[in-house]
Chain A
Amino acid sequence: NAGVTQTPKFRVLKTGQSMTLLCAQDMNHEYMYWYRQDPGMGLRLIHYSVGEGTTAKGEVPDGYNVSRLKKQNFLLGLESAAPSQTSVYFCASSYSSASSTNSPLHFGNGTRLTVT
């Protein structure tokens, strides 16, 4: 029973490098989200998706891109990493509001990214 799986768990990048974070869920959830969590800031939404082939911007989308080619996967890309993107990144998924109005979010284990 995997739930939400994120890879990698840790990564160190140099400024200007690119990388992709992968999120996979096996719960057939329609909605998927990418958050970042920084000390004193709480969880902030980067991008989200309401279904396969759709993506939308959250609160802090700049510097990130996403894709949802398959329902179970949601990829977060950093094209040119900056030190300000040092953070812990969490992926989450949930059922759509149409199927369950009180559906909670299920989170992956997180990715700790450091940009030097």
Chain B
Amino acid sequence: RKEVEQDPGPFNVPEGATVAFNCTYSNSASQSFFWYRQDCRKEPKLLMSVYSSGNEDGRFTAQLNRASQYISLLIRDSKLSDSATYLCVVRNEYSGGYQKVTFGIGTKLQVIP
């Protein structure tokens, strides 16, 4: 089983639609979770951290379900500019300061006019 699994998509949705992505992780002891956005041929950029209580940033809502080991990203009222690849990121910390940051393969979103 991959450490972080995502459906690569693509998800093709009309403008204004609501779309949700899920990501599952294998290590139950993982501590930190993030969603990154990556535009074509660009570097990944932090979209939002994911907190246990869930968090919202404008049209974006992130949820963490530790029991089922998945995180989700909900995008409401999709805009053309939301078209990108969304990367699920999980960080584990070990003794000695070692951090392991694992990226999912990414889910491609295409918002259609």
A residues in contact (CB < 8 Å) with B: 31, 33, 35, 40-43, 45, 48, 50, 56, 90, 94, 96-98, 101-102, 104-110
Contact = CB atoms under 8 A, between A and B. Distances in A.
B104 A42 contact: yes
B73 interface: no
A90 B44 contact: yes
B101 A107 contact: no
A50 B43 contact: no
Interface residues of B, number: 23
Contact of B101 (A45, A101, A102, A110): A45
B87 A50 contact: no
Contacts, number: 52
A29 to B, nearest CB: 12
A102 B49 contact: yes
A33 B101 contact: yes
Contacts of B8: 40
Contacts of A107: 43-45
Contacts of A98: 97
B43 to A, nearest CB: 4
A97 B97 contact: yes
B112 interface: no
B49 A104 contact: yes
B44 A43 contact: yes
